[in-house]
């Protein structure tokens, strides 16, 4: 070998550039622990959920689902989060109308497609739903976004592994 330190520097530089390129191609904020719905993330315990959202108004045992009722401008049901627990008692899936990154709201029910794309990048999959509903899937974070209407607006977010019927 002619100059081992120069070769090592080239290898390290190449690795650094490769890592930088990988980070630049990932949609912003799609790391699993980065996103939450009403500050709830997959993997949280029931005690953590209770501390975050309080006592659920509806508690179903099998499958374990907690539902919360939020009142928004006197209308109930618009912003209701639901938490689905896996068999180990941890959050497996959470739905709601408020998506957060690092605890700060980034999207909400009613957000448009340009806002969705700016916050999350291009979806990993797009599926037509019933009527004019479109489902966007962001695989790195196991995030599902349901969009409906004309112009298309966000209806609900689902974070985690969707429960199977």
| Phi, psi at 50, each rounded to 5° | -60, -40
Residue 162 burial class via C-beta count within 10 angstroms: exposed 0-12, middle 13-18, buried 19 and up? middle
| 66-122 pLDDT, tens digit each | 999 865 544 445 568 999 999 999 999 999 999 999 889 999 999 999 999 999 888
Q: What share of the chain has pLDDT > 90, as a percent?
A: 43
Average pLDDT (148-154) is 88
The pTM (predicted TM-score) of the whole model is 0.75
Q: What is the residue extent of each domain of the chain?
A: 31-160
CATH of domain 31-160: 2.60.460
| pLDDT over 50 (residue 20) | no
Mean pLDDT taken over the chain: 80
């Amino acid at each position: 070998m002619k100059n081992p330190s120069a070769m090592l520097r080239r290898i390290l530089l190449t690795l650094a550039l490769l890592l930088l390129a990988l980070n630049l191609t990932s949609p912003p904020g799609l790391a699993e622990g980065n996103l939450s719905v009403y500050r709830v993330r997959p993997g949280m315990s029931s005690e953590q959920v209770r501390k975050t959202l309080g006592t659920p108004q509806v508690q179903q045992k099998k499958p374990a689902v907690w539902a919360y009722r939020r009142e928004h401008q006197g209308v109930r049901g618009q912003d209701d989060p639901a938490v689905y627990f896996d068999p180990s008692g941890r959050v497996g899936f959470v739905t709601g109308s408020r998506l957060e990154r690092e605890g700060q709201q980034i999207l909400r029910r009613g957000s448009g497609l340009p806002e969705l794309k700016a916050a999350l990048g291009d979806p990993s999959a797009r599926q037509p739903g019933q009527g004019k509903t479109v489902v966007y899937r962001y695989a790195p974070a196991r995030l599902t976004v349901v969009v409906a209407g004309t112009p298309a607006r966000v209806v609900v977010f689902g974070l985690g592994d969707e429960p199977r019927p």
